[in-house]
Amino acid sequence: MTSFRLFAPLFLALTMPAPGHAQDRHVPASQAELRLSYAPIVQRVTPAVVNVYAAKVIQHRHPLLEDPVFRRFFGVPGGQPEQMQRSLGSGVMVDPSGLVVTNNHVIEGADQVKIALPDKREFEAEIVLKDTRTDLAVLRLKDVHEKFPTLDFANSDELQVGDLVMAIGNPFGVGQTVTHGIVSALARTQVGITDYQFFIQTDAAINPGNSGGALVDITGRLAGINTAIFSRSGGSQGIGFAIPANMVRVVVASAKNGGKAVQRPWLGARLQTITPEIAETIGLKAPAGALVASVAVGSPAARAGLKLSDLIVLIDGQPVEDPNAFDYRFATRPLGGTSQLEVQRNGRPIKLTVPLEAAPDTGRDELAITAPSPFQGAKVANISPALADELHLDYGAEGVVVIALADNGMAANVGFRKGDIILAVNNKKIVKTADLEQAVREARRLWRITLMRGGQQIQVMLGG
């Protein structure tokens, strides 16, 4: 604090304009002028960056409060105490009608969402679409009758390391803030926060509250959505990650078309990373590409002629560094067309044409289990190709899979996980959700459950 007071007068003297010499700001006409100030770009883009406030009601459960005798003796009223849990993030207006894109983790589980504009006005918002696979969500302002400023999408594939970028959001809730830096790296695939690992890395300061805000390029276009930071302290350490605009564009387009889920192309093949050992074995100079580990019968990959042990090196002329890079590029392709793959097969280059089709997703028959049993609080579904792709299950998997767990449910408490495949209950084979629904109706003191987790079959015995 002493240091700040000592240097604060010097700081002000260096930054405050002299009386009568107001700065003459104008849109830069050349690269040389652009270096003088970012202000013209900032003034153009900040009206489209908003604050997102999400709130949900949390019930605090205490074992003693469940006991009616305890409540009556101590005069504790019935019901559970509630607390409002709030989260703060940022968002970007992407359609003049009031469509906002933000991070899914900002609004996850929210009972109420509000949007605050830079001019301090606040609006209630509805959740139009949530996409956990990309950690993106699209919101719509309620009861609005005006046009809002928006940001245009950049082609994030054109970004280069060293390009200037600015991050705009509401860090720590202090108010709209602009920071600048460069693109530090591209195609970061080891971040581990979404299914599609292909992040823009930047040293522009990003902090808690920036999530869902804009990463803009030097032309003022949306290059990405700020999503995460690498930090040991909780604050910015110069390593921030943004979801590329080309992926954001796909999610926004699905919301605009009225979809409740994002429709993406389905390859129908499992891909494997090339390790240095594998590269040496198959005679590659460097460990790059995506190795085909399996192909589903009748899938687009199978119909295109993709085979086991093929090495995918290019998609539509763009290099494939690893399976994550392929997944990202394939997922950003529009449905209905085709993609051109170049693969290495036995050392020879082969070109294949893959149709861009959505995975079949019929017959899920989702079921929320409420009956008293070890499965209480679990939501389950029949496995479809789309669900297998979403949960990274083997395409040949059969049975009923756990797709969600209530936080305070019995299923979560006993250790079930999302992605667990229920094979049998009390020696009865579970083929579809109706089988599990029937099984949990029978009161039991002891439950024998067979499940598949991560490719391994597990036997579980639980007391009723």
Q: Percent of the chain at pLDDT above 70?
A: 81
Mean pLDDT of 429-436: 90
| Annotated binding-site residue? 105 | yes
Compute CA 446 distance to the chain's CA centroid, rounded to the nearest angstrom. Answer: 39
- Measured CA to CA, the distance from residue 125 to residue 140 in angstroms comes to 5
User: How would CATH label the architecture of 269-355?
Assistant: Roll (2.30)
> Is it true that 269-355 and 367-463 share their CATH fold?
yes
In angstroms, the CA 300 to CA 357 distance is 7
Backbone Cα Rg of the chain: 26
Domain regions of the chain by residue span: 38-263, 269-355, 367-463
Cα–Cα distance for residue pair 438/311, rounded to 1 Å: 46
DSSP structure class, residue 65: G
H-state helical runs in 219-317: 245-256, 276-282, 300-304
Structure confidence at residue 17 (pLDDT): 35
Q: Which of 153, 94, 160 is nearest to 129 (CA)?
A: 94
Say which CATH topology domain 367-463 has: Pdz3 Domain (2.30.42)
Using CA atoms, how far residue 322 sits from 188, 247, 249, in Å, is: 11, 18, 23
51 is in an annotated binding site: no
Residue 385 neighbours by CB distance under 10 Å: 19
- Class of 38-263 in CATH: mainly beta
Active site residues: 105, 135, 211
pLDDT class for 233, splitting at 50, 70, 90?
low
Q: Which of 167, 140, 150, 149 has its CA nearest to residue 223? A: 167
Distances (CA, A) of 106 to 35, 390, 423: 34, 21, 35
Q: What is the pLDDT of residues 397-422, one digit of tens each?
A: 778 999 988 877 888 888 899 989 99
Tokens of 268: 């129908």
- 210 contacts 181 by C-beta, under 8 angstroms: no
- Axis-axis angle for helices 245-256, 323-331 (nearest 10): 40
255/345 Cα distance (integer angstroms): 39
Q: Kindly compute the dihedral angle of the four CA atoms of residues 418, 252, 269, 380, in this order, to the nearest 10 degrees.
A: 20
Longest dimension (CA), the chain: 87
Q: What is the DSSP letter of 332?
A: T
Mean pLDDT confidence for 43-58: 87
Collapse the DSSP code of 43 into the 3-class scheme (helix H, G, I; strand E, B; otherwise coil) and give the result. Answer: helix
Alpha-carbon distance values, 303 to 151, 329, 356 (Å): 40, 20, 12
Q: Are 139 and 128 in contact (CB under 8 A)?
A: yes
Instruction: Answer whether residue 223 shows pLDDT above 90.
Output: yes
pLDDT at 13 over 80: no
CA-based nearest residue to 169, from 158, 184, 180, 183: 180
CA atoms within 13 A on the CB side of 116: 14
Whether pLDDT at 188 is above 80: no
Q: In this structure, are strands 240-244 and 222-229 parallel, antiparallel, or unpaired?
A: antiparallel
Q: What percent of the chain has pLDDT over 90?
A: 33
Residue 275 burial (CB count, 10 A): 11
Q: Would you say 451 and 421 are in contact if contact means Cβ atoms under 8 Å apart?
A: yes
* CA–CA separation, 336 and 123 (whole Å): 37
User: For residue 303, what pLDDT is reported?
Assistant: 94
**Confidence class for position 141, pLDDT limits 50, 70, 90:** very high
**Nearest in space to 261 (alpha carbons), one of 104, 451, 131:** 131
DSSP 165: E
The predicted model gives 111-124 an average pLDDT of 91
Sign of the alpha-carbon dihedral angle for 59, 65, 67, 71: negative
Q: Could you tell me how many residues make up the chain?
A: 464
Give residue 20's pLDDT: 41
324 is in an annotated binding site: no
CA-CA distance, 325 to 319, in Å (whole number)?
9
| Distance (Å) of CA 327 to CA 169, 266, 356 | 29, 10, 13
Question: Do residues 341 and 354 lie in contact, with contact meaning Cβ atoms separated by under 8 Å?
Answer: yes
Per-residue pLDDT at 9 = 31
Region 257-272: what's the mean pLDDT? 87
What whole-number distance in Å separates Cα of residue 157 and Cα of residue 26? 30
Query: Under a CB-based contact definition with an 8 Å cutoff, are residues 309 and 283 in contact?
Result: no
What mean pLDDT, rounded, does the chain reach?
82
